[in-house]
Amino acid sequence: MEEDEDYEALFFAECADLLGDLQEQLDRIADGDEDPETINAAFRAVHSVKGGAAAFGFTDLIGFAHIFETVMDGIRSGRLETTPDLAMILVRAGDAMAHLVELASQGGGEPEAIVPRVKAELEEVAAQLGAEAAPKPQPEPEPAAESASQMGEAASREIRIRFAPGPDFFARGHDPLRIFRAARELGLMSAEVEGEAPPLSDLSFEACPFVWTLTFDTDRPDAEIDAFFDVCADAASIERLDGETPTEPTDPPTPTEPAARKQPPPQPAASAKKSGSGVARSLRVDLARVDKLVNLVGEIVITQAVLAQKLAEIDGAMTLEAGHSLEALNRQTRELQESVMTIRAQPVKSVFSRMPRIVRDLSETLGKRARLVISGENTEVDTTVIEELTEPLTHMLRNSMDHGLESAEERRAAGKPEEGVIHLSAEHRGERVIIQITDDGRGIDRDRVLAKAMERGLVGPGESLTPEEIDALIFHPGFSTSEKVSSVSGRGVGMDVVKKKIQSLGGRCTVRSEPGKGTEFTITLPLTLAVLDGMTIRVGSERFVLPLSSVIEAVRLEDCDVREMHDGSRMIGVRGAYLRLISLRKTLGLPPADAPETMAVVADTETDGHVALLVDELIGQRHVVLKSLETNFKRIDGVSGATILGDGRVALILDVPSLASLGLPRRTMQQETVH
Amino acid sequence: MSLVLAVDDTRALRNMLVDCLRSGGHDVIEASDGVEALEQLRAHKPDIVITDLNMPRMNGLDFIEAARREPEGRGLPMLLLTTETAQELKDRARQVKATGWIAKPFDPDQILSLVARLA
């Protein structure tokens, strides 16, 4: 088995590195280093040696590494204290394991006396961890995995199985179709759905509502049939209907490991990188050069779309080969674009790391106690965005400190801990980056905001606003609720400046607040500034592009319940929920149609649930290059930019959240029309 | 045939897995920890993921949990390859919506037949 020897050679080469690292870490532990990362790294080294040993069947090494690992796990989970004695045992264990690896690489042999001695020492330590950690023999390879040939054949017969997927069947990555297809090899003859299939509109993406009866005509042994369904036994209920014993979810054999207790804390990327061949190689490049690259990639995307379109227009030009090549070009362009974007990506850490200081300084100035909790600082964002984020983030933190958090007395009176907590977090969600600032303060004082807005004439007398609308007023230009102009946030820069800044980056900014509980600001930014996946739609004679990340599904109006409301707006029933139906024609000011729209695209507004957009036709899905309108024209609500389609036409790229708020009839107008 | 993402920090074991998958006619992309695996997932949209549990930077469970939040990870079969089979681990695996687990050392036939059933 030449191949196996290759793996073994590689394994021994890796072992050399692992053992070297291990020795280093054990030495450090012996010197009193209690850094969890050191202990974790040592644990992982032992674990990796054990994994390899198990794969190649080095029995002595497996047994030793196992007990060694058990002890290391006891240390990393804090159940064993690293006394100097224990540290010395560990160092000896490292040497013993190195010796066993060497023996294994030489093809076996009797281990030296140090091995059983150290092993006994380890076992003694492990005994303190309780019986569960006692070494057990390594299990045979999983019996369920035995191939059919080893299992022999059984008499040909009919087997019926009831197959009922659990509630998270799809969510856990199962697909009944794939399973049934594979089951054909076992002699699956039919899969019948029990009862009536629910209507399409009731289907969800998470749960599978069907229950099947599977009928096999097979000569395979029962065990093999049972083993086949092991893979989903955990996410579905599987029952034999033909009188045989029902299939219990069979688990892999006896655990050989102590339980995976507390997972170690996530390791900082930097310290984990140190193993391996050394210095990270990097290159400093002028940003302008990268930008040029980004632009070029954008142009290529357009050219590729044009090429595809032209080929499609010429009769007979789109041969199978041409199609394949085009497909490959499409994929490569996408990869090129993604690679270029990663060059521009940087962790938000550089901005986030400045924030604790701001909070510290402010808590002194304001006399409020506050703690900043940061998470997701390794989330990567486009460089341009990073540079521009500092100012709005600083301002929002100031706002939270000044307006959000109460004074210590107030907090005490409200039964809260005196120290306020502000969370600053970043994460990727689909094609977006979400940054949130959440405080546990008093929430937005809506009465005061409303009074102020009326005083400033932002809200007319008699207008009734929802709490959310009142909260959103703080983003209104020139709005500042601070009674006295404080040195902290009332310096003429309002939250409107924050919002404008974020908008100029192609993002948006929203606020959610609960009186007495706190306020949450959410900044949503696009991951890439240049290219996006879009769905091209037609409304009248115009083409528009909807970002694919906001599209949920498309429905035909005739399949849905559309209801007219008193105020003339319309709602559409999709999967049991009623969504606001927005006429793109009306909202975008297009000429009235000859025929009413027949389709609606359900889209996500991110903050306000889903809405349905009326369209005439779905044209297709494509990669589009976003060209800013603002540089050449001006900002238009509901539109985030423009792009050039394959046929050379210019299409506007729609922005669902701002479109949805445009489509919202203003309360004042409503009242006017009613009167 | 499927595109499989194989994640393991030990190169020898990863190579064994990769060769096993290739021998079954699958295309394979690799990652050596959860962080890399997330990048691969986003960049290549694999049909199925097989991941080791104990890895530096981001372990297999955390990776699956994070991957389920990505559009590419929704409904994706993701298997944990592990020597540990304790109940607690299984509960965690269920919780992060892992598709299932494979006991190490793995049997190549079993891996291939699992991939055939799931992807």
Overall average pLDDT of the A603-617 stretch: 84
Domain containing B113: what range?
3-118
Angle formed by the axes of helices A495-504 and A383-399, nearest 10°: 170
Residue A311 predicted with pLDDT over 50? yes
Cβ–Cβ gap A171/B117 under 8 Å: no
A153-254 fold: Alpha-Beta Plaits (3.30.70)
Q: Under 8 Å CB-to-CB from A145, ≥6 apart: which residues?
A: A227, B106, B107, B109, B110
Q: How confident is the model at residue B5 (pLDDT cuts 50, 70, 90)?
A: very high
Q: What pTM was computed for the model?
A: 0.43
In chain B, the number of structural domains is 1
The closest of A548, A660, A565, A539 to A607, measured between CA atoms, is A660
Contacts of B12 in chain A (CB under 8 A): 7-8, 10-11, 14, 52, 55
Provide the percentage of residues in chain A whose pLDDT is more than 90. Answer: 8
A55 and B12 within 8 Å at the Cβ level: the answer is yes
- Band the pLDDT of A669: cuts 50, 70, 90: very low
Of residues A194, A256, A189, A248, the one with CA closest to residue A217 = A189
User: CB-CB: which of B85, B97, B102 is closest to A168?
Assistant: B97
Mean pLDDT to the nearest integer, B14-34: 89
Residues whose CB falls within 8 Å of the CB of residue A101, separated by 6 or more in sequence, listed in order:
A12, A15, A19, A49, A61
Whether the per-residue pLDDT at A149 is higher than 50: the answer is no
pLDDT band of A478, cuts 50, 70, 90: low
> What is A348-526's CATH topology?
Heat Shock Protein 90 (3.30.565)
Given this structure, which CATH class describes domain A2-129?
Answer: mainly alpha
Q: What strand order describes the sheet that includes A542-547?
A: A617-625, A531-539, A542-547, A650-654, A639-644
Query: Once rounded to an integer, what is the mean pLDDT over residues B81-94?
Result: 80
DSSP A186: G
pLDDT of A631 reads 67
**Domain with B65 in it: what CATH number?**
3.40.50.2300
Q: Is the pLDDT of residue A388 over 70?
A: yes
Predicted interface score ipTM higher than 0.85? no
Q: Per the structure block, which two tokens stand in for A46? A: 């032992």
pLDDT for position B11? 85
- Cβ neighbours of A57 in B, within 8 Å: 105
Region A531-668: CATH code = 2.30.30.40
Selection from A21-25, A339-343, A519-523, A549-553 with the highest mean pLDDT: A519-523
Long-range CB contact pairs, A360-363, < 8 A, 24+? A362/A397, A362/A398, A362/A401, A362/A402, A362/A488, A363/A401
pLDDT of residue B50 exceeding 90: yes
Q: Using a CB-CB distance cutoff of 8 angstroms, which residues of chain A are in contact with residue B55?
A: 44
Is residue A179 less than 8 Å (CB to CB) from chain B? yes
pLDDT top residue among A267 and A25: A25
pLDDT at residue B30, as a whole number: 92
